[in-house]
């Protein structure tokens, strides 16, 4: 169970880092740039811990799917970015794929 917590920490850290990447304005602003480096460092460290027991394909699928949803939410809330129906439907399919893989696939078993 702690490996899923490690993956959650990795995903949240990556989402923070990606959000800060936009705010860094091409690494011209100090504190957002520091947040980028720290966030990605934390994200990859916790992802490496996750991969000790969760298969890499499963971990990456969850990382990607949840990360897409979170960064889209951040973009909407912080940056006023709009998502059309096709984008929302596509993200829904990604989340559905992650759920199907984790609930029904033997690949996710560990």
**Residue 14 pLDDT exceeds 80:** yes
- pTM score, two decimals? 0.86
Count of structural domains, the chain: 1
91: containing domain: 2-108
In terms of pLDDT, which residue wins out, 61 or 24?
24
CB atoms within 10 A of CB 71: 18
Banded pLDDT at 101 (limits 50, 70, 90): confident
Take residue 67 and report the two structure tokens written for it. Answer: 């990360």
In this structure, what DSSP letter does residue 106 have? G
Mean pLDDT for all residues in the chain: 91
């Amino acid at each position: 169970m702690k490996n899923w917590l490690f993956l959650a920490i990795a995903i949240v850290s990556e989402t923070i880092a990606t959000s800060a990447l936009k705010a860094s304005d091409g690494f011209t602003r100090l504190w957002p740039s520091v947040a980028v480096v720290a966030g990605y460092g934390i994200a990859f460290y916790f992802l490496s811990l996750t991969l000790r027991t969760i298969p890499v394909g499963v971990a990456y699928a969850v990382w990607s799917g949840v990360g897409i949803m979170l960064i889209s939410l951040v973009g909407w809330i912080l940056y006023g970015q709009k998502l059309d129906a096709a984008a929302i439907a596509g993200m829904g399919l990604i989340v559905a794929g992650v759920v199907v893989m984790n609930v029904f696939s033997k690949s996710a078993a560990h």
